[in-house]
Amino acid sequence: MSTNEKQYKSETVKIMIIDDVKANTLLLEKLFLMNGYQNITVIHDSTKALEAIDQEDPDVLLLDLKMPIVDGFEILASLNERDHPLLNSLLVITAYHDSEYRHRALQLGARDFLTKPFDPTEVSLKVRHLLETNHQRRLREDQNLQLESLVLQRTLRIAELQDEYVLRMITAMKHRDNETGRHLMRMSQYVFQVAKKLGLPEEHCDTLKHASAMHDIGKLAIPDRILLKKGRLTLEEFEVMKQHTTKGAELLSGSRSEVLIMAESIALTHHEKWDGNGYPRGLKREDIPLEGRIVAICDVFDALTSTRPYKSAWTEEEALAEIQRQSGIHFDPEIVQAFSEIFTEIVETRMRWLD
């Protein structure tokens, strides 16, 4: 038995089965228990499926298609609309043999199929394959982040610039919010591309790329009850959240490093607006540093196109249309124009950093 296989058969692996036929779920549950999986959730009432998925956060989902009231296709469609990561570990259980149904399930994000009546060995192999594939995907993602950190360390001369302190803060942010690491990497790539389009020197673009990854460092000082809240913030909570700009600038202040000086400026100004209605200081137009104006657009684009507890992800085209609508209001029109001209490249970058 391999190391990975042992890991997957530990108590940490969560398996969820959604099927209205109890005979099927009993057979699957017994099979998984025999194979060493101990954390198994069974849902017979498909109307409670999405709520259970959100609460349990399973590693693998076995989903029946033909169920009363809410069928498997509706559950798939909802997960697809939210770009739910569980789609990477979703195994459809189906009695349908018509390719039309298979194609429809695949289009909605299903990764593989089990055909009723199912073969126990096939079930075990498919589940193990999904777990191993996702484990490898997460390893690649971690390796990408580590490589990015290594490049950042060499570029900034870590020992001289005390950047280990900053990297530890970024790592702490990733531990508080799983999406933060991917958001930082995507957003800093967009910033680099926009800066190049604006004609900034290559070295300045590199500095801006690394500095922009620290734009939300002040969120380390925001309480978890607000930062990780699953829903919209109240006005009082939003006032606390807004403090991440000034707190981030304070964390980064006092350095002689060009990167950290720029990071301090970005942390403080990336929520200012072109028309002066931003925060924390209500700066307007060119009074907002160029780096803050660039990060503002890239940060909003990635936020709009990402799923949040209180909203579904927008399409890239919808996000672009909103950014263009906010030209001259929220955003610098010149930077909106540059962003629009390289939109295809931005989308390609987003696709690379999603996986």
Cα angle, residue 232 at apex, residues 227 and 238 outer, rounded to 5°:
60
In a domain, 150, yes or no: no
Spatial separation of the C-alpha atoms in residues 242 and 302, rounded to whole Å? 19
Place of tokens 């609309």: 81
CA count, 13 A, side-chain hemisphere, 86: 30
In a domain, 144, yes or no: no
In a domain, 346, yes or no: yes
pLDDT confidence of residue 174: 57
Among candidates 263, 266, 259, 156, which has minimal Cα distance to 207?
Answer: 259
CATH of the domain at 110: 3.40.50.2300
Q: Are residues 330 and 234 in the same domain?
A: yes
pLDDT confidence of residue 223: 83
In a domain, 149, yes or no: no
Q: Are residues 305 and 200 in the same domain?
A: yes
Place of tokens 């490249």: 345
pLDDT confidence of residue 84: 80
Q: Are residues 182 and 284 in the same domain?
A: yes
64 beta partners: 93
Side chain identity at residue 179, one-letter code: E
pLDDT band at residue 152 under the 50/70/90 scheme: low
One-character DSSP codes across 124-153: HHHHHHHHHHHHHHHHHHHHHHHHHHHHHH
Domain that holds residue 199: 157-354
pLDDT in tens, 290-334: 999 999 999 999 889 887 766 788 999 999 999 999 999 999 999
**Percent of the chain, pLDDT > 70?**
83
pLDDT confidence of residue 158: 45
For residues 273-288, one letter each, b for 16 or more C-beta atoms within 10 angstroms of the residue's C-beta and e for the rest, the string is: bbeeebbeeebeeeeb
Q: Are residues 232 and 347 in the same domain?
A: yes
In a domain, 330, yes or no: yes
Q: Are residues 163 and 130 in the same domain?
A: no
| pLDDT for 344 beyond 60 | yes
User: What are residue 2's phi and psi, to 5 degrees?
Assistant: -75, 165
Q: Are residues 90 and 205 in the same domain?
A: no
In a domain, 152, yes or no: no
Q: Of 80, 101, 134, which one is at a domain's C-terminal end? A: 134
In 55-156, the DSSP E strands lie at: 60-64, 90-94, 112-115
pLDDT in tens, 169-211: 556 555 555 556 677 778 888 999 999 999 999 889 988 988 8
pLDDT confidence of residue 291: 94
Q: Of 79, 100, 134, which one is at a domain's C-terminal end? A: 134
Q: 221 burial class (0-12, 13-18, 19+ CB within 10 angstroms)?
A: middle
Q: What is the mean pLDDT of residues 145-167?
A: 56
pLDDT confidence of residue 355: 52
Q: What is the mean pLDDT of residues 152-164?
A: 50
pLDDT band at residue 286 under the 50/70/90 scheme: very high
Q: Are residues 245 and 332 in the same domain?
A: yes
Q: Are residues 81 and 112 in the same domain?
A: yes
Place of tokens 């390796």: 143
Q: Are residues 58 and 203 in the same domain?
A: no
- Of the two residues 293 and 225, the one the predictor is more confident about is 293
pLDDT in tens, 89-104: 788 887 777 777 778 8
In a domain, 278, yes or no: yes
pLDDT in tens, 245-280: 999 898 888 877 788 889 999 999 999 999 999 999
Q: Are residues 60 and 205 in the same domain?
A: no
pLDDT confidence of residue 122: 78
pLDDT confidence of residue 161: 46
pLDDT band at residue 6 under the 50/70/90 scheme: very low
Q: Are residues 125 and 168 in the same domain?
A: no
Q: How far separated are the first and last CA of the chain, in Å rounded?
A: 28
Q: Are residues 115 and 260 in the same domain?
A: no
In a domain, 91, yes or no: yes
**Percent of the chain, pLDDT > 90?**
26
Average pLDDT, the chain: 80
pLDDT confidence of residue 154: 58
300 contact partners, CB below 8 Å, separation of at least 6: 319, 322, 323, 330, 331
For the ranges 37-41, 305-309, 346-350, the one whose mean pLDDT is highest: 346-350
- Of the two residues 73 and 341, the one the predictor is more confident about is 341
pLDDT confidence of residue 177: 55
CATH of the domain at 201: 1.10.3210.10
Domain count, the chain: 2
